[in-house]
Amino acid sequence: MSLALADLMEEGRRAVLRPLAQASTLPPAFYTSPEIFEAERERVFRRNWVSVGRASEIPNAGDRFRIDVAGEPLLIVRGKDGEVRALSAVCRHRWMLLGIGAESSATISCPYHKWTYALDGSLMAAPLMEQAEGFERGNCSLPSFGCEIWNGFIFVNLSGDAEPLARSLAPLAEEFAPWKMGEMEIVGRIEFDQPYNWKVLVDNFMEAYHHFAIHPETFEPNYPAAISWPEETNAPWAALRMPHKGNELADPLFKPLKGIPDRARRGFSVFNVYPSMLLAVLSDSVIWYRMEIDGVGHFKLTVYLLAHPASLDVPDAETLKTFLREGTSAVHMEDIVACEGVQMGLMSGSARAGRLSHLEGAIHEHQKWLLAELARA
């Protein structure tokens, strides 16, 4: 750890590692420093499980999509055996990238020299390599990385030594069980190009304190900031509960499944499954924010809208799906104004760590976890 990074870490600990009533945010440099960002890539995103897609996006053998995690180009592939794998998307010959976007075929072929791989990553063919002495196809398989499916979400781990995902998230899986998320369909996707640090979005997502200022018409009338509360989880996720005004039953778009608890019908909850899986869990649907983080001040955001097929058995379901997409997009456009404003403020020479409200406990929990990960050898 460099001296500059060590100094930043100490400054962060002084601000964050206090009881919530005394704590501040991470200092601004944690949102703007290239050195902090590189440390996050190596110590946070390369070590922990990162959500990359939905299993339903690749239902058949040969289906696949490209995504980068912590700078590592990956192919997420459904094999002939039905297994989902995370393979390196870099050809073992001369490093050409394999695949663009979503594709489907029985093999993986490099567009540069037509080296061809099976869906499990093994090299099948390498044209005109007969004169390369000692060349063995068996030594040229695409590297594979840890891959698990949890509640229908595909997670990837680059380190190879992370605790099994299902074990670490077992209590959360128990809470989510009534929603049957593994069976949910994608009813919409919305993409945004975001010119600010990924943690700015995480902080914004995990507090309702801003509802009366940023969402005075979309959220505050039904989900007032003042009655929201962060839950102490002591787990690898944070949770924020947002009760409906007057503890009244919310009016869902779709039909909630039988077994959805009463509390979930009288409000909704948002979660950050560390480091960066953002979920809004409503009684009738789930909204997932997937971040593809490629720089200290930039990421691509894909918002997935999910609902169970049984919930969609309502009149005018297609119209309601459109309403959900338009409503979700409108809310995030309001948040973009706040997030971009925060990023500009972070660049100010007068910016410093800001004190946290009691409503911002989920931010505090995440930032404590993040400091611990950055300090881990």
**Distance (Å, rounded) from C-alpha 319 to C-alpha 310?**
16
pLDDT tens-digit series, residues 78-114: 999 999 999 999 999 999 999 877 778 999 999 999 9
* CATH 3.90.380.10 location in the chain: 3-45+174-375
What would the mean pLDDT of 32-37 be, rounded to a whole number?
Answer: 96
d(CA 50, CA 276): 7
pLDDT tens-digit readout, 176-186 = 999 999 999 99
For residue 149, what pLDDT is reported?
98
Q: How confident is the model at residue 27 (pLDDT cuts 50, 70, 90)?
A: very high
pTM over cut 0.75: yes
Percent of the chain with pLDDT over 70: 99
Element (H, E) at 305: strand 298-307
How large is the greatest C-alpha to C-alpha distance in the chain, in angstroms? 77
Regarding the domain with residue range 50-161, which homologous superfamily does it belong to in the CATH classification?
A: Rieske [2Fe-2S] iron-sulphur domain (2.102.10.10)
118's tokens:
């099976």
Kindly give, in sequence order, each residue whose CB lies less than 8 Å from that of residue 266, ignoring residues fewer than 6 positions away. 243, 244, 247, 248, 249, 250
pLDDT at 201 (0 to 100) = 98
> Does pLDDT of 242 surpass 80?
yes
Q: What is the pLDDT of residue 161?
A: 87
Banded model confidence at residue 164, pLDDT cuts 50, 70, 90: very high
DSSP 248: P
Closest by Cα among 32, 26, 70 to 372: 26
Q: What percent of the chain has a predicted confidence (pLDDT) above 90?
A: 95
Neighbours of 38 (CB within 10 A): 14
**How would residue 15 be classed by pLDDT, with cut points 50, 70 and 90?**
very high
**Average pLDDT value over all residues in the chain:** 96
**Every domain range in the chain assigned CATH 2.102.10.10:** 50-161
Q: Would you call 5 helix, strand, or coil by DSSP?
A: helix
Length of the chain: 377
**Residue 1, pLDDT score:** 61
- Give the residue-averaged pLDDT of 139-166: 96
CATH architecture assigned to 3-45+174-375: Alpha-Beta Complex (3.90)
